């Protein structure tokens, strides 16, 4: 049985240990979308480091319909935050491509998260920071992240926790229920995560932890996504020339 309090406390200590080893005086820099993952990641960092060492970065692309939730989070935690609207940067990048270049739908959807990660590292390097990855195990299991976008960071407190487990921790951290239980939206094409995936996180989480799943078609979809996207979770392959390195 999942002991949310125990895991929450261990995760908080893990964050402290990371910063002790990788930047004693550094700040945690967290991209704040207003969803559960960024909210819970930021709250874990606040409990670990104190609110004065956590920086939130809100990165709407033009108008963001739910940006009020992002402001709710940073105000609830009392953390320093910056708003960087990435619309002009995304438009400039797309506009810099040749007029006849065939930009795919997937390319258009993944440029914004990669611009957001560039923004987070700009803030981090200017504010003595370390970028917090906000992904969870459920999303990573089926490749539901953008490579070199939201899939990266300097430390990742929740990448071994399922959505179900992350939400339990969010409630323990005293976050507003409307943030913890907010319907996850990919922020790319306007659909909910579960609409895009074709199955629920509840189904996925049980399957990850127990191997049990009722529907054979759902199992096949999950397995196929997991296999196709394993490369996102692995170090970049490198050629081994077999040349011995001399001391």
Indicate whether 212 belongs to any domain.
Answer: yes
- Count up the domains in the chain and report the number: 1
Contacts of 92 (CB under 8 A, 6+ apart): none
Report the mean per-residue pLDDT for the chain: 94
Among residues 28, 6, 32, 26, the alpha carbon closest in space to that of 175 is found at 32
Query: In this predicted structure, what is the pLDDT of residue 53?
Result: 98
Model confidence at 101: pLDDT above 70: yes
Is residue 238 in a domain?
A: no
Task: Provide the pLDDT for residue 179.
Answer: 97
- Structural domain range at position 28: 4-233
Lateral strand order in the sheet of 80-83: 80-83, 54-58, 27-32, 129-131
- Please indicate, yes or no, if residue 242 is contained in any of the structural domains: no
With contact defined as beta carbons under 8 Å apart, do 60 and 86 qualify?
Answer: yes
Is 59 a domain residue? Answer: yes
> CB-based contacts of 165: which residues, under 8 Å, 6+ apart?
2, 4, 7, 137, 205
Model pLDDT, residue 214: 92
Provide the 3-class DSSP secondary structure of residue 207: helix
* Residue, of 189 and 1, whose pLDDT is higher: 1
In a domain, residue 111? The reply is yes
Domain of 42, CATH number, reads 3.40.50.620
pLDDT in tens, 46-64: 999 999 999 999 999 999 9
> Does any domain span residue 162?
yes
| Mean pLDDT, rounded, for 119-137 | 98
pTM of the model: 0.92
Q: What is the pLDDT of residues 163-196, one digit of tens each?
A: 999 999 999 999 999 999 998 776 555 678 888 8
Element (H, E) at 93: helix 87-96
Residue 60 lies in a domain: yes
User: Is 205 inside any structural domain?
Assistant: yes
The per-residue pLDDT for 246 is 58
């Amino acid at each position: 049985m999942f002991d949310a309090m125990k895991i929450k406390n261990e995760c908080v200590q893990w964050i402290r240990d990371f910063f002790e080893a990788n930047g004693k005086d550094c700040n945690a820099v967290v991209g704040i979308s207003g969803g559960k993952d960024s909210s819970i990641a930021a709250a874990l960092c606040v409990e670990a480091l104190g609110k004065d060492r956590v920086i939130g970065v809100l990165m709407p692309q033009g108008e963001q319909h739910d940006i009020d939730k992002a402001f709710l989070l940073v105000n609830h935690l009392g953390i320093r935050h910056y708003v960087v609207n990435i619309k002009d940067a995304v438009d400039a990048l797309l506009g810099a491509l040749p007029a006849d270049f065939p930009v795919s739908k997937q390319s258009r959807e993944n440029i914004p998260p990669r611009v957001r990660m560039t923004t987070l590292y700009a803030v981090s390097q200017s504010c003595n920071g370390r970028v917090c990855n906000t992904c969870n195990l459920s999303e990573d299991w089926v490749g539901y992240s953008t490579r070199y976008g939201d899939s990266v960071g300097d430390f990742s407190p929740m990448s071994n926790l399922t959505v179900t487990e992350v939400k339990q921790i969010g409630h323990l951290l005293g976050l507003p229920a409307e943030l913890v239980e907010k319907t996850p939206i990919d922020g790319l094409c306007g659909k909910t995560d579960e609409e895009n995936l074709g199955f629920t996180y509840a189904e996925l989480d049980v399957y990850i932890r127990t191997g049990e799943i009722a529907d054979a078609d759902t199992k096949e979809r999950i397995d196929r996504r997991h296999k196709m996207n394993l490369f996102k979770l692995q170090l970049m392959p490198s050629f081994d020339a077999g040349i011995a390195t001399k001391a």
